[in-house]
Homo-oligomer: A and B are copies of this chain.
Amino acid sequence: YQPIWYTSIKINIFWFSSLFIICCVLQVFKLITSLPGLDSEVGFKQYSDYITVGDTNEKRLFYWYMESQSDPTTDPLVLWLNGGPGCSSFGGLFEELGPFYVRPNITLGRNEYSWNRIANLLFLESPAGVGFSKSTDPKDYRTNDNTTATDSLNFLLKFLQAFPHLKSHDFWMTGESYAGHYIPTLVQKIMEHNSQFPADQINLKGIMIGNPLTYLTINNGGVTDYVYSHNLIANETYQGIKKYCNYSFPSGGGEIFDQAKCNKYSEDSATEMGTINPYDIYVDVLIHIQGYIESKGKLGSPYYPCQDSYTSKYLNDPLVQKAIHADSTSWEDCNMEINIAYSKADVAQSMLPIYTNSILHHGLKVLVYSGDVDSVVPATATRRCINELNLPITSKWRYWTDSDGQVVGGYTEVYDGLTYATVRNAGHEVPSFQPMRAYDMFTRFI
């Protein structure tokens, strides 16, 4: 497995003068030399580009790679993947764990809790059709877990060939939400690749996934319990869903199943909850109001409630698209067409067998975490998924503290092969709602 262009670069490097090498390295690496709206020095190198994936080379996945603010030559390489399916990881870059966020006046602010303070960060827009990633063949926009993982592996191999010095670095995969599917399936592909090509190993050390969709059936049951126990829905609505929806545990079951009644009670549930933010049930939200307020609800967070519209404005600025070497495109945080076309069978599939067969006890460090005020992929559901794995507990449930050693940042339980942690008062996008706690957790994990 050696793509032609990689071989040719090696030849280039070997045969031509140093001046020519610098020229070509720049061309391949596509350095971001300036970013509109930034009023200070970046302080680290960053690159962004398309990498062609798939058999026909019609698919091009776009990435943004930024070096560590500490020691890029030794710090680990960390891949970040947002979920959806259909959501861009640049949402994560600008609204969660990256070094910049977009201010209401569409200039860039700096996030002091950026994960690239200690790691080389790689944000990948995946699959094709998401963000700046695209294909010339519309068929490529009908995707599933297997095509996404295959393309992502292909991307990773080519990326590591373009940045060969990173091959020896520890490699970690992180992400959230539907990355609960992306990451396990990609681990599987990497494991297969590593065993097929022992000389071309991807140096995967571990994975860290937040509020992950692991098994839709368990999740749906967990959501029901979560919204009821958090006093968002009526008693009878809860009882109705429990009675008529087929949200049985794999190990449980026995409920009566009635799709029409299930739908009715599920709709009641949504109506009763009202216009809260289901991704953070306690955060203040603005609805039908022009303008914004600062989200003071979360200590140390620089993010605004309408952050996604600022991010979108920024990434759709032609000057920004030019600066990051992207084609002139309409960038969307989440592409609903991609989402809708995604294999529903795969969305419903359980990732638990992949944990058992390919992730646990394969030398990987595994952290699954939950922001505990998310009702969409709630902690209750994730705890149930972990219970289904039947792993021995090696360190019982306890609280962990923020880096000041005083305040409870969340809770953790360690199992044989897997650590689970919650982040207190964090919504679905944990680093966005609790940047300091997310950063603390990240630094302690990798």
B229/A225 in contact, CB under 8 A: yes
Q: Mark A373-390, 1 if CB is under 8 A from B, else 0.
A: 100000110010001000
Q: Mark A391-410, 1 if CB is under 8 A from B, else 0.
A: 00000111101000011100
In the complex, whether A289 has a CB less than 8 A from a CB of chain B is yes
Residue of B nearest to A422 (CB): B231
On whether A383 and B231 interact (CB within 8 A), knowing A289-B406, A406-B288, A407-B287, the answer reads: yes
A109 to chain B, nearest CB (A): 18
In the complex, whether A254 has a CB less than 8 A from a CB of chain B is no
Number of copies: 2
B231/A372 in contact, CB under 8 A: yes
Residue of B nearest to A294 (CB): B296
B399/A286 in contact, CB under 8 A: no
A219 to chain B, nearest CB (A): 15
In the complex, whether A322 has a CB less than 8 A from a CB of chain B is no
Partner of A425, one of B229, B273, B282, B387: B282
Interface stretch among A10-18, A78-86, A199-207, A232-240? A232-240
| 16 residue pairs A–B, Cβ–Cβ below 8 Å | A225-B229, A226-B229, A229-B229, A230-B230, A232-B411, A233-B397, A235-B387, A272-B398, A274-B401, A275-B399, A276-B408, A284-B299, A286-B407, A287-B407, A296-B297, A297-B299
Residues of A within 8 A of B (CB): 225-226, 229-237, 271-276, 281-282, 284-289, 296-297, 299, 370, 372-373, 379-380, 383, 387, 396-399, 401, 406-408, 411, 413, 422, 424-425
